[in-house]
Homo-oligomer: A and B are copies of this chain.
Amino acid sequence: MSYPTRVKLVDVGPRDGLQNEKQPVPAAVKIELVHRLQAAGLKEIEVTSFVSPKWVPQMGDNAEVMAGIERRADVRYSVLTPNMKGFEAAVLSRPDEIVVFGAASEAFSQKNINCSIAESIERFAPVVAAARAAGIHVRGAMSCTVGCPYEGEIAPERVAYLAGLMKGIGVQHIGVADTIGVGTPIKVRKAIEATLQHFDLNDVSGHFHDTYGQALSNTLAALAMGVWQFDTSVAGLGGCPYAKGATGNVATEDVVYMLHGMGIDTGIDLDQLIDAGQFISDHLGRPTQSRVAKAILAKRASSAACEAV
Contacts and interface: CB of A to CB of B under 8 A. Distances in A.
B257 A212 contact: yes
B245 A211 contact: no
A1 B2 CA distance: 12
Interface residues of A, number: 40
Contacts of A258: 184-185, 214, 217
B213 A291 contact: yes
A214 B212 contact: no
Interface in A214-243: 214, 216-217, 219-221, 224
Contacts of A302: 244-245
A298 interface: yes
A295 interface: yes
Contact of A299 (B183, B245, B294): B245
A56 to B, nearest CB: 23
A186 interface: yes
Contacts of A247: 294-295, 298
A262 B212 contact: no
A261 interface: yes
Contact of A292 (B212, B221, B263, B295): B212
B245 A214 contact: no
Nearest to A248: B291
Nearest to A290: B213
20 contacts: A1-B224, A184-B260, A184-B261, A185-B220, A185-B258, A185-B262, A186-B262, A212-B254, A213-B216, A213-B251, A213-B257, A213-B291, A214-B254, A214-B257, A216-B217, A217-B220, A217-B258, A244-B299, A244-B302, A245-B295
Given A186-B261, A212-B257, A247-B295, 5 more contacts: A211-B291, A213-B251, A213-B257, A220-B220, A247-B294
Interface of A: 1, 3, 181-187, 210-214, 216-217, 219-221, 224, 244-245, 247, 251, 254, 257-258, 260-263, 290-292, 294-296, 298-299, 302
